[in-house]
Amino acid sequence: MPPASHTSGSSSYLGLPSNALGAGAGIMRPGTPMPTLADPNPFGITVLGDTGFPTPVESVVFTDDRSVLLYKPFFQRDHDGRMSTSSHGSGHEDSEMPRHLPGHELDVPLYLERAGPRKHLFFNPSHVVAGIVTCGGLCPGLNNVIRGLVSCLFYRYHVKKCYGFRYGYEGLNPAVGLPPIELTPAEVKDIHRFGGSVLGSSRGPQDPKVMVDYLVSLGVNVLFTIGGDGTQKGAHNIAMEAERRGIALSVVGIPKTIDNDIAYCAKTFGFETAVAMSLDPIAAAHEEARAARGGIGIVKLMGRDSGFIALHAALASGDVNLLLLPEVPFNLPTIFAIVEERLRTRDHVLIVVAEGAGQDLCAADAGDEKDKSGNSKLHDVGVFLKNKLGAHLKGKQIEHTIKYIDPSYTIRSAPACATDAVFTVSLAQQAVHAAMAGKTDLIIGQVHDEFVYIPIPKAVERRKKVDITSVLYQTLLDNTGMPLDLCKIMDV
């Protein structure tokens, strides 16, 4: 029977006074006085037990469990210019923070445990059997993460066996009949050059009892789950089932969402590749629009609930005239008026729309279908806009030509760009370090350019959204000249 699990990051981390902060991005170093606070740390990390095995990893610096990161190190300035009260990352000034949080999470500073190699491990590396699973939609960088995990396990920790589970969580259900693949450095040496996932993927949950039974039968004691919030909810269920049985199973998630919408994470892999690859379709739509009298180019980009890809791509392009995001409500009369004015003055218009935008407007055309992950199936807002704009302009006898481009599958199946390739290697290595130290029920995230551990329940409690009060969104408004209020002209 393994030692009882416990939570690292005691509540004393939360009471850190502002003058105890060292230089840097809110990092609290070991040895800093930490007054006790009664409130538990909402970002405390579960550990399987005591760490008694020395690490085989050579490291320039090892990370201590007591080293934490201040989530939002904001300060307010007094009228005389002196620095005064620290917000301690409490969320008061953070529009990304949800307003339904328990009172103590809004009133006390929030700290996250820093990731990195530990001097002492929970697992004896020679006894570790690892497993890797990829779930959900494709995303640039999946193969990079798989390769990074395998390389770190074998070359740094000298782990001898790693299974790759095929086609998502279906591969963890033996009744489906998908035997795992044994992954070695030789097997994964070139996979980072290609898009997709060598393990395949699928959507939908499986019974955590069945999955834990299967992991135990294979001797797996470390599981890496690569996927979005649905995948990580499944990972949490696996971790809870293992804990209920007293099984020492480390479950570590690598967040995969091309939409960049995981809570508390500054970015997720695949996002920068998606933005870069969106520029060619936008440029093509722009040229098509400019080449015709009354030319209209519409490009639909990924972004189910959050419009980060569309926002960043629109800014990077510099040619977009109208951007439609899930976070910004709009109505058709306002869109019609903007397009008509643009055609009157410049004779062409370029529109970028995130796939989750305007779903309330096109929902009447179809029912609310669900996919295997339980998400509502999106209506094609690009086709909807094309049809509605075309009908409106035709009715007013305004000459026009509309070209619609949807590059979604081309983008998500692409290999990772250079910056995403670097990022995925770091994520993979930090995940291995966490698992070998006995950390569990967490994902690896990045805050203030530091890698941190985020408990899965916190990571999946909400989705990160575009902040329309941010400098970035104001930059978009200044760049396009589009109005802040896209419901200005109401339906008659």
- The Cα–Cα gap between 427 and 422 comes to 9
**Which whole-number Å values give the CA distances from 449 to 26, 424, 452, in the listed order?**
11, 14, 9
Half-sphere exposure of 113 (CA within 13 A, CB side): 31
Strands 68-70 and 111-113: antiparallel
Give Cβ neighbours of residue 484 (< 8 Å, ≥ 6 apart): 477
Catalytic residue among 259, 261, 406, 420: 259
Half-sphere exposure of 210 (CA within 13 A, CB side): 12
Q: Which residue has the tokens 């399987």?
A: 48
**Which whole-number Å values give the CA distances from 304 to 260, 269, 363, 481, in the listed order?**
11, 17, 14, 25
Q: Where are the beta strands (DSSP E) in 157-277?
A: 161-165, 181-182, 222-227, 250-255
Residues 379, 357: contact at Cβ < 8 Å?
Answer: no
How crowded is residue 44: how many other Cβ atoms within 10 Å of its Cβ? 21
Angle between helices 418-436 and 271-290 (to 10 degrees): 160
Q: Which two tokens stand for residue 486?
A: 């896209």
Residues 310, 277: contact at Cβ < 8 Å?
Answer: no
- Active site (annotated) includes residue 259: yes
Catalytic residues: 259
